[in-house]
Amino acid sequence: MAHSALLAWAWALALGAVPGAQAGCAELGRCCPGRDLTCVFRDWAEAAGPSLGTQLCYCDQECITARDCCPDYTSVCPAVTCVVSEWSSWSRCIEPCTISFRVRRRRVLREPRNGGGRCPPLEERAGCVEYWSHQGVECQQALSECQKWAKEARCKVESFLRLEAGETFKYQSGC
């Protein structure tokens, strides 16, 4: 609240023109987007008056400063966590005929609100090797990783982990 609005609200409260402290967040229009539900204001009795006794009040720092928190905030303005779609299918290897990676993605279906959990990663990468070009032509070179597992032109590596740029990627290849 701006300073002048806060003074006007306090004056209206003193004159009895503001709904009583027993009213909830919805009735008072105090559902602020992005409130921090981990913040607990324990001085509610002092702010609301002795009629409510000592109660916990969940609100953000701005509402604590303005002393306009409500004890029913978590039920009226619950945290909404992020919801994402299912993963897409894996793409082809980004570069054929060499160790490369493929990608799959998902999208946000519902953004988090009111201090809800953040969205998980929206892209995932996995290593791969393709021995066929994107035009369907067999690659002329042999990769040393496949030569270790088979003497034939084709081999299959089930999975192995590789640390790259501080992230762990799961590498799968069929060659």
Smallest CA-to-CA distance from 31 within 65, 54, 6, 62 is with 62
Are 113 and 148 within one domain? yes
What's the pTM value of the predicted model, to 2 decimals?
A: 0.43
Quote the pLDDT of residue 123.
96
Residue 46 belongs to domain spanning: 22-76
Are 142 and 166 within one domain? yes
Quote the pLDDT of residue 90.
92
The tens place of each residue's pLDDT in the chain, 175 residues long, gives 444 544 444 444 444 444 444 444 445 555 555 555 555 555 444 444 544 444 555 555 555 555 555 555 556 566 788 999 999 999 988 887 778 889 999 999 999 876 778 899 999 999 888 777 666 677 665 444 445 444 443 343 333 333 333 444 444 444 4
Is 11 within a domain?
no
Quote the pLDDT of residue 122.
97
How far is CA 51 from each of CA 46, 54, 67, 73, rounded to the nearest angstrom?
Answer: 10, 9, 16, 19
Are 69 and 90 within one domain? no
Is 130 within a domain?
yes
Is 4 within a domain?
no
Quote the pLDDT of residue 106.
97
Are 66 and 91 within one domain? no
Q: How far from each other are the two terminal CA atoms of the chain, in whole angstroms? A: 64
3-state secondary structure (DSSP) of residue 168: strand
Cα–Cα–Cα angle for 10, 16, 20, nearest 5°? 85
Is 155 within a domain?
yes
Quote the pLDDT of residue 69.
59
Total tally of structural domains belonging to the chain: 2
Quote the pLDDT of residue 80.
81
Is 7 within a domain?
no
Are 126 and 91 within one domain? yes
Are 99 and 126 within one domain? yes
Is 9 within a domain?
no
Quote the pLDDT of residue 98.
78
Are 70 and 98 within one domain? no
